[in-house]
Amino acid sequence: MHFDETTASPDARPHEGLEQLLALMPVAAGAFGGTEYPRPASMAFFGEAADAARLRKAAEERIDAPAPAVCALALAIAEVIESVRMDRAAHFITDAKARDLVFMGAKWRAGWVFLMGAGPHDELAAAFRAREFLVFCQNGAGMPDVVDLGPRQTAAVYFLQLMVRYAMVWGGIAPGDDHEMGHFLEADMPGVVVAHGALMPVEELLLLGLMKLGASAVVPPSYPFEQGRQVRAEGVDEIVTAAVRFPNLRVREADGGSMTMPGYCDPLHAREPFECDRVVGGATSFFVLVPAAPGATAQPAELPAALDPGGPVGIVVTVADARLDVATSGYLEEKALDGIHLLHGVRAERNGDDGFRLFLAREADASPGRIAGAVAAGLKRAFPLLEGVAVEVFTGPAAAAAKQRADAFRAERARCISSERDDTAPHFHYCIECQPFSREHVCIVTPDRPPMCGRDRFQVKAAALFGATWHPFKRQDVPDGALRGALVPGTAIDAATGEYQSVNDAVRILSHGAVTRMTLHSVRSFPHTSCGCFRFLAFWIEGLDGIGVMERNYEGEAPGRLTWNILANRAGGKQSPGVTGVSEAYLRSPRFLKGDGGHAAIRWVSPKAYEAVKDLLPEHARVRVG
């Protein structure tokens, strides 16, 4: 507990809010849809969805108790009241929606803010949105970009339900252990409650209950209780300034510093529509990025004076950075091509064997010098730590000769990528971007195990080596630049399950000691941890002695009455023996759960999962499609 229930402070008195809740309480509780927790708040406090009669009896016995002693009970009663409201589905946050809000509110926002009280909340909500918060609001109907929790005094219970499911799913806190839940939420929940405007007695009591369960709060100077982690403030600017200082909120990863781009380059040009006036290039033109020879340095190139509208054009980007290998150069090549779009009135298109083309507006200035400058600037903007970029532009016969070299390099790169395997890779890479909401999750990315979120593995590898093109939020105790990195795999402890001592050592540190062993290619005992943005879930089905695979948000059931909701809650944010998140790319990997029998051990698949793996299943495989 986070404050003394029997304190003798001036607020230690019976509170009329409990009497008002009892007057509203129905004879029997209703149900919320879309959740495996029938009433999440009640389960958090009591370990079960306590019935209305039991709650009423407990409240009547404690009606003269001080407010700190009954505020948790008041929240459970408020949940029962909301459970019979006709419009409850409009305000209840389903498990699926809760997982989305956890992901968006911690990784891509500073956190959640719940605005409660009479308000008005419009100006305050806008101020928090400007500070990149996900805003929940009592009396929020009709307000833009907020999650409206309804007009009633009991609206706070919907925010509480989100809080406790975050603790039960992502924190692994057992239902009914409200003491540990309070400690977890106080330290880890990416949220803050703001009381704004007049508070009715019921709202005063429920806010006290939210703080008792670990919520940080900004309260008005007139708030009658001193308990809980609270700051007193009034006025929009003072409230926002106070709220953003709580240590449980997230902060944005630094962008690696700003760079000065040529004046003719502007990211806004990439979204400008224009009418194409002419096309340069074609089937005999090309664009390629190559690593420089070991020890080489970037040299400024001599560029032709102009492009030949009727002839071929070739662009060679050379990167003299010793960290860049042949396989990863393909991903950098895609980003280098995007640099051309920083030019006004210019678009680039590459269609495999069909060459390379530039589409130009009438007024476009696409001189070779500007193209080279835009490519270099775009690449440096995408990878702030990349070194040694040089760009050459070829026209006429020189382009044809350079294309032969480019084609040979591309063929070499394709062979290199296809031959990469876990047991030959000099490095594995890790990503902890999802730890703002999945504190124990460490994503290990290898040639045979692409990331479960669906990103290309080279995207993670390039970000680990050269800095990221995206800047998510992170916990305040995580240093900038620490979200991704590399490790030397060494010899496998067990090649079949994919267990490596180096991986175990890394995940022990990166998971803060929560995970000590991880098998990359087995789901049964020490599987890869899961985040929340996995595209598929793979799980062991005891009754079938094999593997099941289910796509995200599948509405049916697997054997054992397993649903996406149940499996995703079981997997989210932690290591959960028997289930792990996977991507489609890993489903098709030759090492897919090899330690459990691989593709031959698949016994049940949902329809989209079947489409992803059907050509890899053994002939006459005993596979049920859901």
Please tell me the distance from the alpha carbon of residue 118 to that of residue 230, in angstroms, as a whole number. Answer: 19
pLDDT band at 1 (very low <50, low <70, confident <90, very high): very low
Q: Which pLDDT does position 470 carry in this prediction?
A: 87
Please write the tens of the pLDDT for every residue from 611-626: 999 999 998 888 999 8
Q: For the domain that residue 525 is a member of, what is the CATH number?
A: 3.40.970.20
Boundary residue ending a domain (368, 401, 419): 419
Does some domain include residue 261? no
Q: Which pLDDT does position 94 carry in this prediction?
A: 96
> What tokens were used for 25?
């309480």
Q: Which pLDDT does position 403 carry in this prediction?
A: 92
Does some domain include residue 1? no
Q: Which pLDDT does position 19 carry in this prediction?
A: 93
Does some domain include residue 3? no
Residue 348 phi/psi, 5-degree rounding, is: -115, 145
Please write the tens of the pLDDT for every residue from 514-528: 999 999 999 999 999
Please tell me the distance from the alpha carbon of residue 539 to that of residue 567, in angstroms, as a whole number. Answer: 8
Please write the tens of the pLDDT for every residue from 407-465: 999 999 999 999 999 999 999 999 999 999 999 999 999 999 999 999 999 999 999 99
Q: Which pLDDT does position 10 carry in this prediction?
A: 45
Q: Do 138 and 186 lie in a common domain?
A: yes
Q: For the domain that residue 398 is a member of, what is the CATH number?
A: 3.30.1650.10
Please write the tens of the pLDDT for every residue from 230-249: 999 999 999 999 999 999 99
Q: Do 299 and 401 lie in a common domain?
A: yes
Least confident range of 1-15, 354-368, 546-560: 1-15
pLDDT band at 258 (very low <50, low <70, confident <90, very high): low
Does some domain include residue 7? no
Distance, CA of 203 to chain centre: 32
- The total number of structural domains in the chain stands at 3
Q: Do 432 and 410 lie in a common domain?
A: no
Boundary residue ending a domain (419, 447, 469): 419
Residue 219 phi/psi, 5-degree rounding, is: -120, 160
Q: Do 31 and 110 lie in a common domain?
A: yes
> What tokens were used for 98?
């809760």
Q: Which pLDDT does position 3 carry in this prediction?
A: 53
Rg of the Cα atoms in the chain: 29
Does some domain include residue 435? yes
Cis amide prior to 120 (ω within 30 degrees): yes
DSSP state of 301: P
For residue 255, is pLDDT > 80? no
Q: Do 462 and 408 lie in a common domain?
A: no
> What tokens were used for 400?
């044809």
Please tell me the distance from the alpha carbon of residue 346 to that of residue 266, in angstroms, as a whole number. Answer: 12
Q: Do 308 and 205 lie in a common domain?
A: no
Boundary residue ending a domain (200, 219, 249): 249
- DSSP calls for 96-123: HHHHHHHHHHHHSSSEEEEEESS---HH
Average pLDDT value for residue range 538-544: 95
Q: Do 404 and 434 lie in a common domain?
A: no
- Which helix (H) or strand (E) segment holds residue 191: the answer is strand 191-195
Please write the tens of the pLDDT for every residue from 268-305: 999 999 999 999 999 999 999 999 987 777 676 778 88
Q: Do 360 and 486 lie in a common domain?
A: no
- Which helix (H) or strand (E) segment holds residue 130: the answer is helix 122-130
Contact 461, 449 (CB under 8 A): no
CA atoms within 13 A of residue 456's CA, in its CB half-sphere: 11
Q: Do 355 and 489 lie in a common domain?
A: no
Residue owning tokens 């500007």: 370
Please tell me the distance from the alpha carbon of residue 502 to that of residue 77, in angstroms, as a whole number. Answer: 50
Does some domain include residue 512? yes
Q: Reduced to 3 states, what is the DSSP secondary structure of residue 89? A: helix
Q: Do 314 and 193 lie in a common domain?
A: no
Q: Do 287 and 178 lie in a common domain?
A: no
Residues in CB range of 482: below 8 A, 6 or more apart: 432
Average pLDDT value for residue range 365-378: 93
This prediction has a pTM of 0.91
Does some domain include residue 6? no
Indicate the average pLDDT of the chain.
92
Does some domain include residue 483? yes
Q: Do 242 and 390 lie in a common domain?
A: no
Q: For the domain that residue 154 is a member of, what is the CATH number?
A: 3.40.50.2030
Instruction: Provide the residue range defining the domain that includes 530.
Output: 428-625
For residue 333, is pLDDT > 80? yes
Taking alpha carbons only, the member of 211, 181, 166 closest to residue 74 is 211
Q: Which pLDDT does position 12 carry in this prediction?
A: 47
pLDDT band at 351 (very low <50, low <70, confident <90, very high): confident
